[in-house]
Amino acid sequence: MKPLYDFSTLVVDRTIAPRDGMVSAGLEEQYFDLGRRALELIHFSSVLCDKPHYPAILDLPCGHGRVLRYLRAHYGYAKITACDLDRDGVDFCAQQFGATPVYSQPSLGALNFDAQFDLIWVGSLVTHLDERRWLETIDCLVKWTKECGVIVFSTQGRTVTSLLARGRRNVAENIDKPALLEEFARRGFAYQRYFEATPEADYGFAATSPEWLMRQLQRYPDIILRAYLEEAWGMQDIVILYKKAGHFEPVLGVPERSANHSPADAPAVRGGLLRRFLGR
């Protein structure tokens, strides 16, 4: 995909942290390209959602500032919160880019922020979570977003699963690929724990189809899907959401619920709503 905007004149701090595991020797420009691309997509979200300013921004997971450095350069006025399980990355973002540091938790539901955010950027997080934590994460993002705020997050969809199905090497070599593809074809969602991960530190590879993701968004009457962009951030897809209270009626029901909700609620909500529409 061609550049969406020209940020070539933007002055960006290109300092790389000594412990930044996202940088490969000789591929530094690829690292910076992905950071700049994220900024393009975030700026695109501001156009789609009519949000010229993002005064309060959350970067989760921030890593060592691959994207945050571009956010700081473009939104110099903003209060940017850097959040990650990697404490060294959080500390680096605070010291180098003036971010507000927050150490993350394995369960995002345990996190508490002082205030909500105008923009939440989430690059490569739900791409590594099982279904329960995937849904819990979206619940948290919606809760943490201000009214008329924006969420931009990445997923792994048809592009990555197509590469796996075609036998592409160097794409998720540390998972059970046949099992992942079988589940993805059957459900539209698939997760495989990395071979080196443990049940206690559960971390792996998650694939979501556009159709599966759309069904999950039915759970949120306050959330408008502004864009679903395939292959927009490297091989990953990008989802842009806009929060507006009570925008939708849950006429489609609630097909799937997270751990924070009771599945038994769905028929009651749907039935009650239909009775109201039909005057019964």
Q: Read off the pLDDT of residues 33-54 as tens digits, 9 standing for 90 and up.
A: 999 999 999 999 999 999 999 9
Q: What percent of the chain has pLDDT over 70?
A: 90
SS3 track for 231-246: EEECCEEEEEEEECCC
Helix (H) or strand (E) holding 165: helix 158-165
Residues linked to residue 59 through DSSP beta bridges, in sequence order: 82, 121
Please state the rounded mean pLDDT for residues 250-274: 50
Residue 16 confidence (pLDDT) above 70: yes
| Contact indicator for 189, 207 with CB cutoff of 8 Å | yes
- What's the token pair of residue 114? 């002082």
Residues linked to residue 152 through DSSP beta bridges, in sequence order: 121, 240
| Contact indicator for 152, 123 with CB cutoff of 8 Å | no
Going by their DSSP bridges, the two strands 204-208 and 223-233 should be labelled as unpaired
Alpha-carbon gap, residue 205 to 213, rounded angstroms: 16
Alpha-carbon gap, residue 151 to 99, rounded angstroms: 19
**Which sign does the torsion angle of CA 168, 170, 176, 182 carry?**
negative
pLDDT band at residue 257 under the 50/70/90 scheme: low
| Contact indicator for 169, 219 with CB cutoff of 8 Å | no
Provide the mean pLDDT of the chain: 91
Alpha-carbon gap, residue 176 to 163, rounded angstroms: 14
**Which sign does the torsion angle of CA 211, 156, 233, 224 carry?**
positive
Q: Lowest mean pLDDT: which of 89-103, 122-136, 221-235, 241-255? A: 241-255
The pTM assigned to this predicted structure is: 0.90
pLDDT band at residue 2 under the 50/70/90 scheme: confident
| Contact indicator for 247, 226 with CB cutoff of 8 Å | no
The whole-number pLDDT of residue 264 equals 39
Residue (of 233, 213, 212) closest to 223 by Cα position: 213
Alpha-carbon gap, residue 51 to 46, rounded angstroms: 4
Alpha-carbon gap, residue 109 to 105, rounded angstroms: 8
Chain position carrying tokens 């020797």 = 25
Residue (of 100, 88, 94, 14) closest to 55 by Cα position: 100
Note the Cα 172 to chain centre separation in Å.
19
Q: What percent of the chain has pLDDT over 90?
A: 82
Cα–Cα distances in angstroms (integers) from residue 80 to residues 88, 94, 119, 161, in the given order: 17, 9, 10, 33
Amino acid identity, position 164: L
Residue 82 confidence (pLDDT) above 80: yes
